């Protein structure tokens, strides 16, 4: 969908983009050809032509961050298909809601097809180096909570990536509410071991772990990584529905995804078991 996008160009909104499509200008290459032939309607196209050329370069080099200052935040979902393999799916746990007074306790992530976990007192300090390699973030309400919280605790970490916040993508499709509510409406299920666990219980689990209950940490990690795993499902569903509702008149060429593990309950249980063995060694 990104190659068919024009809303990141100056003066182009959804209606103007639709007009370009209706003229048969369906992707960036066609835009450049039409401009070169002098058939592009309107005036002052040079800045748009330059931006399209830079867009092609950014796509070829995997630079999702290039689009951040140009792409409206509500349209960032269009980056997904082309950059999903370079995206970092991210979710955090904290001791409260204040980035000034509360702590980050657990950061769960999926990037490069592999799960990663950062836990306070174990390896949390490694997170800034890890996140720096990813040009795109995917979260649920992360633009409002996770990223500001992380920025307060890791002021030197790279957190300026392009960002697909699925809360707003899904809300635009009528799926409003918190993560668990949206998951339920879309038919996603959670391991019975964490049924009823919410953000407040996550705080209690952390404090139980700090008092010596290793099982509490294991349950907290399962809760966190389930959030991460479900982000992938929500992204695929949300982006697919947005693409359908666009009623794009041409054929969208989807980027082939590299292989990634199926993050079902059994996989998460095995992964967490291995992690706990390593931590306790």
> pLDDT grade, residue 99 (50/70/90)?
confident
For residue 94, pLDDT beyond 80: yes
For residue 1, pLDDT over 70 is answered with yes
Q: Where are the domains of the chain?
A: 2-61, 81-280
Percentage, residues of the chain above pLDDT 90: 74
What pLDDT is attached to residue 144? Answer: 96
pLDDT digits (tens, 9 = 90+) for 172-187: 999 999 999 999 999 9
pLDDT band at residue 219 under the 50/70/90 scheme: very high
Q: How confident is the model at residue 69 (pLDDT cuts 50, 70, 90)?
A: very high
Percent of the chain with pLDDT over 70: 94
* Per-residue pLDDT band at 248 (split at 50, 70, 90): confident
By mean pLDDT, which of 31-40, 136-145, 270-279 is the weakest?
31-40
Highest mean pLDDT among 8-22, 215-229, 239-253: 215-229
- The rounded distance, in Å, linking the Cα atoms of 28 and 53 is 8
Residue 5 is predicted with a pLDDT of 95
Task: List pLDDT tens digits, range 249-278.
Answer: 776 655 555 555 678 888 999 999 999 999
> 281: part of which helix (H) or strand (E)?
none
CA dist 6 and 160 (Å) reads 22
As a whole number, mean pLDDT of residues 32-39 equals: 84
Residue 44, pLDDT > 70, answer no
pLDDT above 60 for 37: yes
CA 164 to chain centroid, in Å, comes to: 4
In the predicted structure, residue 148 carries a pLDDT above the cut 60? yes
Mean pLDDT of the chain, nearest integer = 91
Q: What angle do CA 183, 146, 120 make, to 5 degrees?
A: 105
Question: What topology is assigned to 81-280 in CATH?
Answer: Nucleotidyltransferase; domain 5 (3.30.420)
Give the pLDDT confidence score for residue 101 in this predicted structure.
85
Is residue 53 predicted with pLDDT exceeding 60?
A: yes
**Measured between alpha carbons, how far is 256 from 258 in angstroms, rounded to an integer?**
7
What is the mean pLDDT of the segment spanning 212-231? Answer: 95
Strands 114-119 and 162-165: what pairing? Answer: unpaired
Q: In this structure, what are the phi and psi dihedrals at residue 130, rounded to the nearest 5 degrees? A: -70, -50
Q: Determine the pLDDT at residue 42.
A: 61
pTM, entire model: 0.92
Tell me whether strands 114-119 and 136-139 are parallel, antiparallel or unpaired.
unpaired
């Amino acid at each position: 969908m990104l190659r068919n996008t024009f809303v990141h160009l100056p003066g182009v909104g959804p209606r103007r983009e639709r007009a370009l499509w209706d003229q048969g200008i369906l992707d960036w290459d066609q835009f450049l050809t039409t401009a070169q032939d002098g058939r592009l309607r309107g005036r002052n196209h040079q800045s748009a032509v330059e931006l399209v050329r830079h867009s092609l370069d950014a796509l070829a080099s995997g630079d999702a961050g290039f689009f951040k200052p140009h792409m409206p935040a509500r349209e960032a979902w269009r980056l997904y298909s082309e950059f999903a393999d370079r995206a970092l799916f991210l979710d955090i746990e904290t001791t409260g809601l204040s980035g000034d007074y509360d702590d980050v306790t657990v950061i769960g992530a999926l990037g490069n097809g592999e799960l990663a976990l950062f836990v306070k007192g174990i390896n949390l300090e490694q997170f800034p180096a890890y996140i720096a390699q990813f040009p795109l973030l995917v979260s649920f309400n992360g633009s409002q909570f996770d990223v500001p919280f992380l920025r307060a605790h890791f002021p030197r970490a790279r957190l300026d990536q392009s960002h697909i916040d699925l809360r707003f993508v899904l809300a635009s499709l009528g799926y409003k509410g918190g993560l668990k509510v949206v998951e339920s409406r879309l038919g996603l299920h959670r391991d019975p071991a964490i049924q009823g666990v919410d953000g407040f219980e996550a705080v209690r689990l952390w404090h139980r772990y700090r008092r010596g209950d290793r099982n509490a940490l294991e349950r907290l990690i399962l809760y966190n990584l389930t959030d991460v795993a479900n982000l992938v499902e929500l992204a695929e569903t949300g982006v697919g529905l947005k693409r359908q509702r666009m009623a794009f008149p041409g054929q969208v060429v989807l980027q082939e995804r590299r292989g990634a593990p199926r993050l079902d309950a059994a996989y998460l249980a095995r992964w967490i078991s291995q992690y706990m063995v390593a931590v306790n060694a």
